[in-house]
Amino acid sequence: MQTIEQISVLRQQISDWKKQGYTIGFVPTMGNLHQGHLSLVEEAKKHADKIVVSIFVNPMQFGKNEDLDKYPRTLEADSQALIAAQVDLLFTPTPQIIYPKGLDNQTWVEVPHLSELYCGDSRPGHFRGVTTIVNKLFNLVQPDIACFGEKDFQQLALIKTMVEDLSIPIKIIGVPTVRETSGLAKSSRNGYLSEAEKQQAAVIYQNLTQLKNQLEQGDKNFAQLIVKTKQNIYQAGLTTDYVWILDSKTLQPADKNTNSIVILIAAFLGSTRLIDNIQVKLK
């Protein structure tokens, strides 16, 4: 596996591969890799000849009081995991390489409306940072396909929208969430939790599963279901940021005629913010 930091070297390697007719799969990450990230790599290998992974802790998507400084950086362990996964190229730029003029002078890319809902409402500017860096990485790597986890369901929807709106010739592939045995969605931020807290946090997925069952049984009282779910999560010692029952295609609130649903939950355990979702297909 090649590890490349400089843009010019990356561009040369990508150009060489394209001249040889290779297709390129891309997995952008912020590092501190876990099995969820590696599942994205495995999926990308099904669709492309050469696999590129980026590790870049993107300062543009962190708010002023968020965990940018303490976000775990584990490049050596990440590199070993990617070598074992037979990744071809690891791109590890610095903020100075990605944003040479500084964040305040950086052109940004933003998907309107959807960026301001749900996680976007709780974390103003977050999704602008996500879509800007993903767009920039797409321009640098020029992949044929790119894989993103369904755990960040709103992020996946935003990236698909951006690619469609800007006519970017990349196929976006969503990959199912990888979970702990307790059901807790694997996340780099789980590293902030003790083993006991991880078991406690599994209440999020337990409630998602319960909500899914209730919807499948025909319960359409969404407001009451949401209130009860928030109570359950609170009683387990977490603070709910939001619970939404949405149309999975539009990410607008579901109504009684919606048959393709996604339930989104965000909650805090202490200062650690956790997100998860589950999709529901109704007859």
| Active-site annotation holds for 126 | no
Strand partners, 278: 263
Q: What is the largest CA-CA distance in the chain?
A: 59
Strand partners, 4: 91
Three-class SS of the chain? CEEECCHHHHHHHHHHHHHCCCCEEEEEECCCCCHHHHHHHHHHHCCCCEEEEEECCCHHHCCCCCCCCCCCCCHHHHHHHHHHCCCCEEECCCHHHHCCCCHHHCCCCCCCCHHHCCHHHHCCCHHHHHHHHHHHHHHHHCCCEEEEECCCHHHHHHHHHHHHHCCCCCEEEEECCCECCCCCECCHHHHHCCHHHHHHHCHHHHHHHHHHHHHHCCCCCHHHHHHHHHHHHHHCCCEEEEEEEEECCCCCECCCCCCEEEEEEEEEECCEEEEEEEEEECC
Which residue out of 34, 37, 47, 113 is catalytically annotated? 37
- Residues 6 or more apart in contact with residue 47 via CB below 8 angstroms: 23, 25, 144, 145, 171, 173
> Tokens in use for 205?
């997925």
| Active-site amino acid positions | 37
